[in-house]
Each structure stands twice: as structure tokens, then as C-alpha cells.
Amino acid sequence: MILFFLRHGEAGMNFPSDFERELTDGGIGASHSIGGFCKKTGITFTHIISSPLMRAKQTAQVIVQKFPGMTMEESELLTPNADPKNLFNFLRSFTSSSKILLVTHEPFVSNFISTLISGTETVNIIMRPTTFACVETTGSPARGNGKLLWLVPSELIQQIV
């Protein structure tokens, strides 16, 4: 299974709640760059799953626009303080040939990637806004069975595209 992790784009701060925070213009532009990067490099997905928080949904929606016919699902399992074990259980429902884009938040995404590649949350993974990472697993994702293939910061992706 191939898991792609994308931290949402840069979000504004002046919103009534954390749930409602929307992307800034820069966050929208960086999200478009991620979609362009995927198209340019031939990256495809079988599923796109987003946190239900507005900034993550907006990021995922920009990506979905680049893939006609693709739809986005929402999952509470991708919120900032979600428990990684719940996502591990959920991912078992997918086939080993799945290529899943997970649009999520900090600190969840760093903790999940660390657990996936090392079995613990001690690996120092840094996922700034619109950082994009790819992890391959052998069989169903589980603690320590992932291999980090790459992690690309937004600034580099914007230069490539």
C-alpha cells in the first residue's frame, strides 16, 4: 500500500473556531502546486481522504480538481489530535494496491508517520503546511512496517512546478 500524507495549506487565524479556519491565498496557491506536482510526476490516487476541518477539506478539494472523476471522503480519524491506532484499523479495510492521499494536520501527521516507519512516535518528522510525504507499507499499515520513500516541503514543490 502507498500512503501519501499532505498537511493542509497555510490557514488564517481570525475565525470563530479552529474547525472553521480557512486557507489563505498562499495556502490555496500551495495546494494548487501540490496538485500540479502530482500531475507532472504521474502520482495518482485510488482514494482521497481528508480531515473534516475546513482548511484540510479546502486543500483536498484543490487536489481533487486536478483529478477528474475523483471524489473526496472525510474522516474524523485525521483531525489534529486523533489516535493513530484508529487510522491503522481503518486502513486495514483497503487493498494492498491502494494509493491513498490523507490530508491532515499536525501533530497527528508527524506522529502517525513516525509510528508507521519506526513503531514509535520518537522519529522527528516535520510537516509544515503543504508538506507532502509518501510511505510504502508491506501489507496492511501497522506500527513499524512503513518505509518513508520521500518527504518534500512546499517550497521545493513550488519550484518544481
First to last CA, the chain: 26
Q: Are 61 and 28 in contact (CB under 8 A)?
A: no
CATH topology of domain 2-160: Rossmann fold (3.40.50)
For residue 153, with 0-12 CB atoms within 10 Å meaning exposed, 13-18 middle and 19 or more buried, which class applies?
middle
- Domain limits, the chain: 2-160
pTM for the whole structure:
0.96
Does the CA dihedral 116-50-30-34 come out positive or negative?
A: positive
Show the 3-state SS of 75-104. CHHHCCCCCHHHHHHHHCCCCCCCEEEEEE
- pLDDT per position in the chain (161 positions), as tens? 999 999 999 999 989 888 899 999 999 999 999 999 999 999 999 999 999 999 999 999 999 999 989 999 999 999 999 999 999 999 999 999 999 999 999 999 999 999 999 999 999 999 999 999 999 998 899 999 999 999 999 999 988 88
**So what's the pLDDT on residue 25?**
97
